[in-house]
Amino acid sequence: MSAQTIMAHDLTDGRKLTVSFKLLLGLYAIIPLCLALQLFDGWFWQNFLRENLPNRPTHFLLFQILFGTPHIIASTLLLVGNTAYLKLYQRKLTIMTVAIAIVFGVGSLFVPYRVFYVLVAGWTVFHVLKQQHGVGRGVCQLPTWAFYLLLWLSVAAGLFVYIGIFLKNSLDAQQTEWIKEITLFLCLGLVLSGIYCQRYVSTTFGKWFLWGNIFLVLSSFYLYLQQYYFLAILVPRLVHDATAFIFYVTHDYNKHYHHPQNFMYRCAARCRMHIFFVLPVCSFILAFVLQAYGDQIVEVLTKYLFDIEIHKAITLGLLGYLALMHYYTEAFTWKQGSPYRQFIGFSK
């Protein structure tokens, strides 16, 4: 996502809700909050949080239900719930589906698992940080070279943090030290680049956004060094997911406010459910059902119908596919001039 500023007074009557830059910036308050938790844990709680929080967020079902999966499902519902969008992007969606099937189906027979993991991790980190830098770009008004310099330094540092956390059990001591040293070097480069590039940002508000994105990476690295792996992933995950939901809800509110245009919103209207809550509620319910019961349901059905058991068909197969498609489609569906952007405006 990228933000080209369209102020509230430029919107038509059919688009009454705008994305507030102040609200988006406020999401970064998770950074000092998590840092404060880490400090208080060391000072007063005898490292209780560090010892009891999951080492990997994916081990914590509640984390998956609250973060990651819901916004991916919301993105999917937004796309498939609008026939015009599906028709417009049908060719791209078909090509990408075939590509995923070939790469992860046939390719998995020849490419080592760790290579696949690093590739997907890189795409994940790029997707998360590209969204945040893209939103900030509309406020900071950085030159193109400065925008990409900060973005790629952030992605590189974020990727090593991601690898250090999620592959830590398969890394030896020397490899772990290399990851920490490389990430430290990248973070220093990111800070120095931020100091230099902030001269191109004309407003104090824009500088807050610039440094918010930088500290998103720095705080995650610091929490990783302190072995608060859960918090290290939570910081960028919460900011990214909440930002995405703000865009999705704004889009759907403005599109369906006067005339619900798909089955989901027509049902919600009959149930007198406020349009503001439709997409989040549906997304979180689906995330819960698929994460908690999806694999079991598929295993029972395939065992009953075909006398075979297919394991992790939902959590690894379906949700994995939706995640990869989400990373792909978000790169073009929110670009300036896309039909999505007809229903998005910005305000301070």
C-alpha distances (whole Å) from 152 to each of 159, 203, 244, 268 are 10, 23, 21, 42
Whether the predicted pLDDT of 4 surpasses 50: no
How confident is residue 244, by pLDDT bands cut at 50, 70 and 90?
very high
Whether the predicted pLDDT of 83 surpasses 60: yes
Would residue 253 count as lying in a domain?
Answer: yes
Supply φ then ψ for residue 210, to 5 degrees: -60, -50
**3-state SS, residue 20:** strand
Would residue 315 count as lying in a domain?
Answer: yes
Would residue 2 count as lying in a domain?
Answer: no
Whether the predicted pLDDT of 308 surpasses 80: no
- Give the up-direction half-sphere exposure of residue 337: CA atoms within 13 A in the CB hemisphere: 1
Place of tokens 């998005």: 344
309 residue type, one letter:
E
How confident is residue 8, by pLDDT bands cut at 50, 70 and 90?
very low
**3-state SS, residue 307:** coil
What's the alpha-carbon Rg for the chain, to the nearest Å? 21
- What residues contact residue 251 under an 8 Å CB cut-off, 6+ apart? 78, 340, 343, 344
Q: What predicted TM-score, i.e. pTM, was given to this entire model?
A: 0.89
How confident is residue 304, by pLDDT bands cut at 50, 70 and 90?
confident
pLDDT digits over 91-141, tens only? 999 999 999 888 877 777 777 877 888 888 899 999 999 999 999 888 888
Would residue 256 count as lying in a domain?
Answer: yes
More confident residue, 169 or 132: 132
The Cα angle at residue 140 between residues 137 and 142, in degrees rounded to 5: 75
- The average confidence (pLDDT) of the chain is 87
Would residue 182 count as lying in a domain?
Answer: yes
**Span of 5-9, 99-103, 187-191, 305-309 with lowest mean pLDDT:** 5-9
d(CA 124, CA 122) in angstroms, rounded, equals 5
Tell me how many domains the chain contains.
Answer: 1
For the chain, report the end-to-end CA distance as a whole number of angstroms: 17
Do the Cβ atoms of 276 and 257 come closer than 8 Å?
no
More confident residue, 205 or 57: 205
Domain that holds residue 272: 8-347
Which candidate, 341, 242, 222, places its Cα nearest to that of 30? Answer: 242
pLDDT at 14 (0 to 100): 47
d(CA 210, CA 184) in angstroms, rounded, equals 19
Report the share of the chain in percent with pLDDT over 70: 92
Would residue 135 count as lying in a domain?
Answer: yes
Supply φ then ψ for residue 20, to 5 degrees: -90, 125
**Span of 124-133, 141-150, 219-228, 272-281 with lowest mean pLDDT:** 272-281
- Give the up-direction half-sphere exposure of residue 84: CA atoms within 13 A in the CB hemisphere: 6
pLDDT digits over 141-161, tens only? 899 999 999 999 999 999 999
